[in-house]
Homo-oligomer: A and B are copies of this chain.
């Protein structure tokens, strides 16, 4: 499973792989813990973030697209939105042009919750990044962007392996 190479570079590659895996798992756990702390689950939190994200870009999200993004069935999405709306985190708004569509907007409750999630995280990342020069951060960014592209391709490939042809959940 782990190809342990003896050379320095091979060692480095293995280390970075572990870093990434640990980071992902920890990020997941943080979300889970924070969500539980506020009476919702990990998916709810992700959804709330997605709703704010979309709206702040000026392009409110619909249940359908939310489902694509979180990789959830339509039924789950409705239940999910019900929960969030009931808790006062978001609200529904029918599109006036196409009245089949529903736009999701965040409410004050939700905004505050998201802020209290991101604020401490932001502080921590800022602290870490302060230790690096612009050039170094540039390298990190290039690397991570490359990795994201590669992972996304892989995700689509795995998804395509079973059912429908890999819907690109654009993020």
Contact = CB atoms under 8 A, between A and B. Distances in A.
Interface of A: 1-3, 8-9, 12-13, 15-17, 19-30, 32-34, 36-37, 46, 52-53, 56, 71, 111, 114-115, 118, 120-122, 124-129, 131-132, 134, 136-141, 143-148, 150-155, 157-159, 161-162, 171
Q: Output the residue of A12, A32, A120 with the most chain B CB within 10 A.
A: A12
Contacts of A2: 56
Nearest to A2: B56
Contacts of A17: 122, 125
A contacts with B: majority SS: helix
A131 B144 CA distance: 12
Q: Please give me the 8 A-B residue pairs with the lowest Cβ-Cβ distance, nearest first.
A: A19-B144, A26-B151, A33-B158, A24-B24, A24-B27, A124-B150, A128-B146, A30-B155
Given A1-B52, A140-B140, A154-B121, A131 B146 contact: yes
Q: Output the residue of A24, A124, A126, A138 with the most chain B CB within 10 A.
A: A24
